[in-house]
């Protein structure tokens, strides 16, 4: 069975950098599927890439290698990292890209050694050719080695303090569940830090029946009207704004066939509250 390597970068698709990383990989391993997650991460936006990985990784086969290069610190002293967690491998700079997989559960992290270092067997052969393109010179070879079965430990020395991002979460307040918009997708849907299970923990409104359901409403932005929660996009009345649980299990604010982000002027960081009540 061929291995799988996914690629996530902020390189864009205009320059041949992603193709170059794939060339490097294919020199080292041939029996592999190369799958692009996205190369349109906003330049240097580590959190956006970390959230994309959180959403995508669970749908890939066990043993997949996830190569991610969003690297404002390339050439600095930040460490190159390889991680094993939840049956998957991760390779990229140690800047928080893999936070979703380092928050709980078991994981193991390795600082990837250069070929010149004392810890890398010559057979692994990771060579730093440039100071500015570690994706090509360090991370792609490391991902290829993992995909062809080289043990994680052979890539370098174990580290116990990989960097983790401050992770966008939701919190229970007296008013309900408070969170924020963490991403705007191509359709203008506003994806929030509030998860389905957070909402399930909120008691329904006493007047839930009158509210026509569980009686939970969403308020986004300051001084806004509450909007109702629906099951799916087609339940939204054209022109209305509504909230629903999207495909990643997160609360989304959406409009029907138009951009909620543009219409409302909302974006990353907009505060969102789920509370009991009727719209």
Interface residues toward a second copy, by CB under 8 A: 1-2, 4, 6, 8, 11-20, 22-24, 26-27, 30, 33-40, 43-44, 52-53, 55-56, 59-61, 64, 72-76, 130-133, 136, 185-187, 231-235, 244-247, 249, 257
Q: Pick the closer one to a second copy by CB: 69 or 178.
A: 69
Compute the least distance from the CB of residue 103 to a second copy, in Å. Answer: 19
* Residue 72 beta carbon to a second copy: minimum distance, rounded to whole angstroms: 6
Nearer to a second copy, 188 or 215 (CB): 188
**206-238 burial string, b = 16+ CB within 10 Å, else e?**
eebeebebbbbbbbbeeebebbbbbeebeebee
Minimum Å gap between C-beta 232 and a second copy is 3
Return the half-sphere exposure (C-beta side, CA atoms, 13 A cut-off) of residue 22: 14
User: DSSP letters of 212-271?
Assistant: TSS-EEEEESTTPPPEEB-SSGGGSPTT-EEEEE-TTSEEEEEESSS-HHHHHT--TT-E
In the complex, least distance from residue 252 CB atom to a second copy, rounded to whole angstroms: 8
Q: Are 278 and 210 in contact (CB under 8 A)?
A: yes
The smaller minimum CB distance to a second copy, of residues 162 and 246, is found at 246
Bridge partners (DSSP) of residue 6 are 35, 66
Quick one: 19 or 203, whose CB is closer to a second copy? 19
Sort residue 94 into left (φ over 0), alpha (ψ -120 to 50) or beta. beta
Nearer to a second copy, 30 or 171 (CB): 30
Q: What's the min distance (Å) between Cβ of 208 and a second copy?
A: 21
- Number of Cβ within 10 Å of residue 151's Cβ equals 10
Identity of the residue, 45 or 277, whose beta carbon is nearer to a second copy in the bound complex: 45
Closest separation in Å from C-beta 158 to a second copy: 25
């Amino acid at each position: 069975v061929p291995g799988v390597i996914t690629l996530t970068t902020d390189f864009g698709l205009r320059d041949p950098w992603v193709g170059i990383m794939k060339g490097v990989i294919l020199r080292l391993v041939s029996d592999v599927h190369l799958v692009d997650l996205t190369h349109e991460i906003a330049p240097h936006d580590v959190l956006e890439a970390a959230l994309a990985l959180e959403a995508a990784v669970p749908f890939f086969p066990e043993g997949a290698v996830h190569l991610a290069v969003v690297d404002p610190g390339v050439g600095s002293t930040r460490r190159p990292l390889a991680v094993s967690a939840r049956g998957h491998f991760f390779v990229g700079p140690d800047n928080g890209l893999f936070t979703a997989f380092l928050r709980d559960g078991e994981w193991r992290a390795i600082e990837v050694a250069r070929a010149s270092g004392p810890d890398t067997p010559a057979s692994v052969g990771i060579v730093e050719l440039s100071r500015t393109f570690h994706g090509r010179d360090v991370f792609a070879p490391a991902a290829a080695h993992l995909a062809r079965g080289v043990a994680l430990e052979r890539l370098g020395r174990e580290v116990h303090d990989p960097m983790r991002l401050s992770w966008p979460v939701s919190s229970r307040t007296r008013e309900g569940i408070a969170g924020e918009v963490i991403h705007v997708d191509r359709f203008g849907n506003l994806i929030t830090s509030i998860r389905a299970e957070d909402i399930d923990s909120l008691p329904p409104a006493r007047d839930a029946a009158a509210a026509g359901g569980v009686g939970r409403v969403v308020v986004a932005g300051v001084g806004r009207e509450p909007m109702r929660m629906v099951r799916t996009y087609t339940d939204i009345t054209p022109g209305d704004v509504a909230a629903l649980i999207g495909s990643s299990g997160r609360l989304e604010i959406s409009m029907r066939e138009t951009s909620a982000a543009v219409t409302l002027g909302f974006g990353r960081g907009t505060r969102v509250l789920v509370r009991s009540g009727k719209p």
